[in-house]
Amino acid sequence: MKGRYRRGYSVAVLVGLEADVAVLWRVFSNVVKFGVSVRLGGARSDGKALYSFHEAVVNALRPVLREGVLSVVLVSPARSSYAKEFLSHVRAHHAWLAQGSSKAVFSEIVGSADSLSKVAALTKNAAFHQVVSETAASEGEGLVELLEKRLSASGRDALVSYSLTEIEALIFGEWLAGKPKPELLLLTDGYLAGCRARGRLQRLMQIAANRGVKTRIVDAESQAGKRVAQLGGMVLLAAVG
């Protein structure tokens, strides 16, 4: 877990779209790391090849989305239609990406991100940081909406937990049918940095990830971060499946 915290927490996914390749990068609060590359298996004019290419990009995004990172920044060269073609594919074939707790927030920026050197140059651009911040803010609005909905429905079918001990009991325990199942762990970067029981918290987050519980660390100064901070800095959303 030490390496994970040196790189910081997940902020977004960067997808560099070129004529014949898509390169995915993980944007953390401290660094950007290479994820995976997907190659187009034919000409862009070949509808089947382009469809398969876009499907492969969506499949490459799935593991990160399952973690709870829903901010996706698409980077494509000026005067190209690569980002718009991909978004059209998503809207036509993956409506789940625009619905419910799995709703992703997509944004676009002009540039190139198919190599480490190009990504390094891109991340020095103020416009890049602005787009990432705006995308994360839009995602945060969705998180706040979900949180408020769960708070108002908290009871037999939904549960919102705030204490580390209570959250540990839910995540470490046996998930029985008809009982609340942990879905999303939300905490602020301030809570993570200031937690005195750091090892205990890191263990909780690791087990949550291993058990498929989405985890999202949000900027304490963001809309979502301020709302989570009002509730103690960390909350767990659970629901009866």
Summarised one tens digit per residue, pLDDT across range 113-168 is 999 999 999 998 888 989 988 888 888 888 888 889 888 876 666 689 999 999 99
**Alpha-carbon span 94 to 211, nearest angstrom:** 25
Q: Where are the domains positioned within the chain?
A: 2-138, 154-239
Cα 47 versus chain centre, distance = 29
Question: What pairing do the DSSP bridges indicate for beta strands 234-239 and 214-218?
Answer: unpaired
pLDDT number for residue 157: 64
Cα 51 versus chain centre, distance = 24
**Alpha-carbon span 151 to 145, nearest angstrom:** 10
Q: What is the mean pLDDT of the chain?
A: 90
pLDDT number for residue 140: 87
Domain 154-239 has CATH 3.40.50.1100: no
Structure letter (DSSP) for residue 88? H
- What is the CATH superfamily name and number for domain 2-138? eRF1 domain 2 (3.30.420.60)
175-205 pLDDT, tens digit per residue, is 887 788 899 999 999 999 898 898 999 999 9
pLDDT number for residue 1: 47
Look-up: residue for tokens 């940081």? 129
Q: Contact 30/6 with Cβ under 8 angstroms?
A: yes
Record the tokens describing residue 172, joined without a space: 């470490």
Element (H, E) at 60: helix 47-67
